[in-house]
A and B are shown apart, each in its own frame.
Chain A
Amino acid sequence: MVGFKNRYMVMEVFLDPNRDLLAVDPIIITQFNVSKAIKDSLLENFGECGLASSLGSFQVKYVNPITKLCIIRASREEYQKVWSATTMVRSIGNCPVLFNLLDLSGSIKACKNTALKCDELKFEQRKLVVGASLTAEVNQQMQNCLEKIKTLEH
């Protein structure tokens, strides 16, 4: 029987919500900087103990820099703290950001399905916005990311 119960949150990130739509992304989000930002927020809001108790199961499992989607795992007991901490994240590096939760699920399987759907939808939207300047490289990257979702494990 699985001893660790987790919650998987699918979140989207809005980088610099004030900027113009067509501008280039100010920073590239990676697993590392998202994770760092959330940990800092946890430390600031919930203190050392808060950070320590959430750190056990906390992991940023997947980040898509093109569609700005991320999957964050947290333990079932602490997920609300982690969720609040990510909501209160104001910036990653120098760039103001906005996190928005799209889906919360208890198993990696359900999470994978919704993440795939959201990713595809967001990619479609991005194609609409960016229009012609979509390169094959970007497409390739996108496909890689989608593949990555499918291979996610707890």
Chain B
Amino acid sequence: MGFFDLNVPYHESDKQTTDKSARKATRLKLTVKAMELGYTGVAYNRTIKGVMSESDRCATALFSLSSVLKTRPFSLLRRPPPPQSPRRPGLRPLPPVHSADGRRRQLVPGVGSQLGESDSQDVDLIAIDFSDKLPFRLKQPMVKAAIERGVYFEITYSGLIMNAQVRRQMISNAKLLVDWTRGKNLVFSSAAPSVTELRGPNDVANLASLLGLPMERAKAALSKNCRSLIANALRKKHYYKEAIRVEVISSGEERDSKEPCFIDWLKWDPISSGEGDLLLDDMARSFSASAKASKTVKPIDFASLAYSFPSRGLQVRDIKSSAEAVMQPLGVGQDLSAAGETVLSIAVIGASQQPESLGDLPKEDQTSSYSMPSQHLKYSCDDSMKSSSPTDTLRDLSNAEETVTHTTNSDEKSKNSNGFDVYFSHPGTEMHNLQSQSCIMRCNSHVMSPGPYAEFHTSAISTEIAAVACNALADAENLTSSEDINFSALQSEKSNSSSGSDGVSGTHKILQWKKS
């Protein structure tokens, strides 16, 4: 797990700076020092007062590898990251995060209440300057409410190092915050004005213990919390309604072997910014491919499609137009048994509104064939999904033997004319019989929620699905959702068991169907 320093001051954009190059040199030194000390990622902190405009959008130039190396040659004394983690050693600039500077808020009267109701959409991080007496009182219910909203608090440690007066104020102010959050949603960073105030990650964790945090929480505050903060921020930005990211898949090139695909997906890091990373090994290639593909993608507006569906069953449009080997026409019902190997069942999980009797499903399905577009597909969902509450579905899902992973990957081959991969695996497998399945489905989560119908969140469960049991279809439950769901799933039966969960950490949500 890499360590991150999320506050390297960036002053170069101030209008009145006279020594831009000196500041840039300081920033470069800071970045290099951070890398030397063992940090995996650094974020530049740009302070903007007043109303932000489009022109203030983050356009920080990234340092090139050569300029970094010129300052000093590297020998990494640190232990290398554990081999199974998809993270790479190296320094990467992180995407911009909206932060509410506590200082700005001081000017507004009644700031304490404002803290509680701050714009939930925009704020990811609250950084309060502890080095002076706080003009407002930090109240515990406020802090609790903020945490529930998913907001992170930031404590900067350079004050502890600078001088005794600041140290005193800071420890007494920050201790309150630490006590109330107990390390949850807490992020440590340096606001180091120069290289002498920077400290290595282990040292910072130890300083955090002065504030009352146990060592492991402190280390998590430097690594895990930072990572999830950034992943969340990215999710809000790039994912439509926090659930879907649709990317055009470059068709053609990578069709030859399926192996590289898996590997690429495994290595996909949700907070990677693609070409900006300074990688110490040559895994950059795999990322650059995915990064390029994702740039041209615009999210699809599913909401307009969603309303046009009938209330029962799913309609699939434009299912693979091209004859993909994957999509062997899966006849529903009997054919399924023949189809054997090609699985792709995307379990649409959801609480059906009334769990239909299983008998309903087979009849209809048997008459349809997958090769025709716009069919009604009933998805079988987990037996345990009978519960109507959405929260139950999650639990049930996790209890299910198989878990379905939905991850989409931009590298996936596109077979569709729209550029989406839609594999239809028929959902026939009865959920409780899914044991024998070994295919991993990856799809990027999905569809949006039409108003009256349901709300989805994609589920983050990984399933191994091997062969679809044909008679599963007969037993499948009827899903009453009317969403159009595009799934891209891997067709190959090769199961990459552990891979699914590793690569997709930050980007999956839970699929939930609410009763309409």
A residues adjacent to B (C-beta < 8 A): 12, 17-18, 21, 44-45, 80, 83-84, 87-88, 90, 96-102, 118, 121-122, 124-125, 128-129
Do the beta carbons of B71 and A87 come within 8 Å of each other?
Answer: no
Between-chain CB contacts (< 8 Å), 12 pairs: A17-B196, A80-B209, A83-B206, A84-B209, A84-B210, A87-B206, A88-B160, A90-B196, A98-B199, A100-B37, A125-B74, A129-B72
- Nearest residue (CB) in B for A99 is B203
B residues adjacent to A (C-beta < 8 A): 29, 33, 37, 71-75, 77, 160-161, 164, 167, 194-196, 198-200, 202-203, 206-207, 209-210
Q: Which A residues are in CB contact (< 8 Å) with B74?
A: 125
Q: Which B residues are in CB contact (< 8 Å) with A128?
A: 73, 75
- Nearest residue (CB) in A for B32 is A17
Do the beta carbons of B195 and A129 come within 8 Å of each other?
Answer: no
Do the beta carbons of B196 and A44 come within 8 Å of each other?
Answer: no
- Nearest residue (CB) in B for A83 is B206
Q: Which B residues are in CB contact (< 8 Å) with A87?
A: 161, 199, 203, 206-207
In the assembled complex, the CB of A149 is this many whole angstroms from the nearest CB of chain B, namely: 16
Q: In the complex, A101→B38 CA distance in Å?
A: 11
Q: Which A residues are in CB contact (< 8 Å) with B194?
A: 18
In the assembled complex, the CB of A23 is this many whole angstroms from the nearest CB of chain B, namely: 12
Which of B72, B195, B198 has the largest number of chain A CB atoms within 10 A?
B195
Q: A87-B206, A125-B73 are in contact. Are A18 and B164 (CB under 8 A)?
A: no
Q: Which of A44, A96, A99, A121 is B77 in contact with, Cβ under 8 Å?
A: A121
In the assembled complex, the CB of A130 is this many whole angstroms from the nearest CB of chain B, namely: 11
Known: A18-B29, A88-B160, A125-B74. 14 other contacts (CB 8 A): A17-B195, A18-B194, A84-B206, A84-B207, A90-B161, A96-B196, A97-B196, A98-B198, A98-B199, A100-B200, A101-B200, A122-B77, A125-B73, A128-B73
Q: A87-B207, A125-B73, A128-B73 are in contact. Are A98 and B164 (CB under 8 A)?
A: no
Q: Which B residues are in CB contact (< 8 Å) with A118?
A: 77
Do the beta carbons of B199 and A18 come within 8 Å of each other?
Answer: no
Q: Which of A45, A97, A101 is B202 in contact with, Cβ under 8 Å?
A: A101
Q: In the complex, A97→B198 CA distance in Å?
A: 11
- Nearest residue (CB) in A for B30 is A17
Q: Which of A21, A44, A100 is B199 in contact with, Cβ under 8 Å?
A: A100
Q: In the complex, A50→B341 CA distance in Å?
A: 69
Count how many pairs of residues, one from A and one from B, have CB atoms less than 8 Å apart in the complex: 61
Q: Which of B77, B196, B207, B209 is A98 in contact with, Cβ under 8 Å?
A: B196
In the assembled complex, the CB of A96 is this many whole angstroms from the nearest CB of chain B, namely: 5
Q: Which B residues are in CB contact (< 8 Å) with A45?
A: 167
- Nearest residue (CB) in B for A88 is B161
Q: Which of B37, B72, B75, B206 is A124 in contact with, Cβ under 8 Å?
A: B75
Q: Which of A83, A88, A129 is B73 in contact with, Cβ under 8 Å?
A: A129
Q: Which B residues are in CB contact (< 8 Å) with A44?
A: 164
- Nearest residue (CB) in A for B215 is A80
Q: Which of B29, B33, B203 is A101 in contact with, Cβ under 8 Å?
A: B203
In the assembled complex, the CB of A20 is this many whole angstroms from the nearest CB of chain B, namely: 9
Q: Which B residues are in CB contact (< 8 Å) with A129?
A: 72-73
Q: Which A residues are in CB contact (< 8 Å) with B207?
A: 84, 87-88
Q: In the complex, A97→B197 CA distance in Å?
A: 9
- Nearest residue (CB) in B for A20 is B71
Q: Which B residues are in CB contact (< 8 Å) with A80?
A: 206, 209
Q: In the complex, A101→B444 CA distance in Å?
A: 42
Q: Which B residues are in CB contact (< 8 Å) with A99?
A: 203
Q: A18-B195, A122-B77 are in contact. Are A100 and B71 (CB under 8 A)?
A: no
Q: Which A residues are in CB contact (< 8 Å) with B160?
A: 88
Which of B194, B200, B209 has the largest number of chain A CB atoms within 10 A?
B200
In the assembled complex, the CB of A88 is this many whole angstroms from the nearest CB of chain B, namely: 6
In the assembled complex, the CB of B359 is this many whole angstroms from the nearest CB of chain A, namely: 65
Q: Which A residues are in CB contact (< 8 Å) with B33?
A: 17
Q: In the complex, A103→B202 CA distance in Å?
A: 10
Do the beta carbons of A18 and B196 come within 8 Å of each other?
Answer: yes
Q: In the complex, A100→B202 CA distance in Å?
A: 8
Q: Which B residues are in CB contact (< 8 Å) with A121?
A: 75, 77
In the assembled complex, the CB of A22 is this many whole angstroms from the nearest CB of chain B, namely: 10
Do the beta carbons of A21 and B206 come within 8 Å of each other?
Answer: no
Which of A21, A87, A96 has the largest number of chain B CB atoms within 10 A?
A87
Q: Which A residues are in CB contact (< 8 Å) with B75?
A: 121-122, 124-125, 128
Q: Which A residues are in CB contact (< 8 Å) with B200?
A: 100-101
Q: In the complex, A87→B196 CA distance in Å?
A: 11
- Nearest residue (CB) in A for B194 is A18
Q: Which of B71, B77, B203, B209 is A21 in contact with, Cβ under 8 Å?
A: B71
Q: In the complex, A45→B196 CA distance in Å?
A: 18
Q: In the complex, A125→B195 CA distance in Å?
A: 20
- Nearest residue (CB) in B for A100 is B200
- Nearest residue (CB) in B for A101 is B202
Q: In the complex, A98→B194 CA distance in Å?
A: 12
In the assembled complex, the CB of B9 is this many whole angstroms from the nearest CB of chain A, namely: 15
Q: In the complex, A12→B72 CA distance in Å?
A: 16
Do the beta carbons of B196 and A100 come within 8 Å of each other?
Answer: no
Do the beta carbons of A100 and B203 come within 8 Å of each other?
Answer: yes
